[in-house]
A and B are shown apart, each in its own frame.
Chain A
Amino acid sequence: MKWAVAAVCVALAYLLPALRLPALTTPEPDWATLLFVVAVYVLLALGLNVVVGFAGLLDLGYVGFFAVGAYSVALLTSPNSGVPAGWPWLAALPVAIVVTMLSGVLLGWPTLRLRGDYLAIVTLGFAEIIRVVASDPTSVFKGDRGISDIPHPAPFLRHADGTPVFGVTDARPYYWLTLTLVIVVVFAARNLDRSRVGRSWVAIREDEDAAEAMGVPTFRFKLWAFAIGAAVGGLSGSLYAGTQGFINSASFELLFSILILAGVVMGGSGNLPGAILGGVLIAYLPERLRGIRAPAWLGGQDLFEWRYLMFGLVIILIMLFRPQGVIPSRRRALELKDRDG
């Protein structure tokens, strides 16, 4: 039964680009591009959920990993990056994931001995360091000018008329590719959750000292959570770079980390459907607001401009009335309740 529901959901998700309901679509960007953006956010939410939801480590700098992934691909593939590699996107992808994973380990190694707020501050600093380094125009990352001509994935795949499947005109292939990766990541996260690893994460989240005393190598498993989260962030960044063909330092603002975190928390931290819903919410809602005008007495701007105000409101409301998220993990909900009590 559960599998049947999941299969129907997956089938529906793949068919979504064909489903142009006027109530869902937005004037800009086109429906398929919007779906792709949503899928990337879902991927990011799933990755951050491993760190924040499963292992209970507050990471405020998740965009840093997204950036490391994107820049790794950009440097390795683009003909006008400073690195004379010029690899195809597909070859750069695994390298980018490994590099991001290593960056996660490198950041986690000294910092995962810290707890709670301290870790949050360090991760925040990490993301800012990445952004500041990238925004130096004299660096290999070229600051605002950015890196252009990043090749699309799989240029060898072509339609009957010879145009590449992954091109600039049609976003659907990117969506399907990202959706497939989302499904892979969901399965991976689920397998981890229901294993010794997942149990250890819950134990660490609930009482790190007791976990260590029961033989859980807490540091090692926290590092794993960090590395896995980073790898998924790097994967998302690679996809983003491959789709846009261009990245610059402005793409990796701190706000982005906060947004993803807000999505995970809103949707339901520690729960896969919750994280997915969170990713959908943060990506879809602002676009849905686009093109809707505020009443004249409020200034009459496009509601899209109000997106962060709206998010703030939504987050406050959810925290007030449903602090465990929309689709919470049963366990996390109780942990929150306990902390209040």
Chain B
Amino acid sequence: MSRTRVLVVAGLLLTPGAAASAEPPPGAASCSGCHPVGANANTPVPRLLGRGAGELTAAMEAFKSGQKPSTVMGRIAKGFTAPEIAAIAEWYAAQH
């Protein structure tokens, strides 16, 4: 990952100059409080960038239902509807 990309990603996770169209959907910008977007953060929390939308959606739905055990993600996932989860997943999948 180039330095430029890291800096861009470290902000709103947007592509420069494509403000409104690449804006994260509701809720997505909060995720990077815990899920690292740069290369340099030391954390056990996994990165979301570039993961497949299907994988992210399945994980969120499994957290939401309790099928996938978690500490905090179940409590967070319950605050999002299926379309909101899909939009967040697709947006992260596109940020690679």
To the question of whether A and B form a pair in one complex, the answer is no
Q: Which residues of chain B have a CB within 8 Å of any CB of chain A?
A: none
Q: Which residues of chain A have a CB within 8 Å of any CB of chain B?
A: none
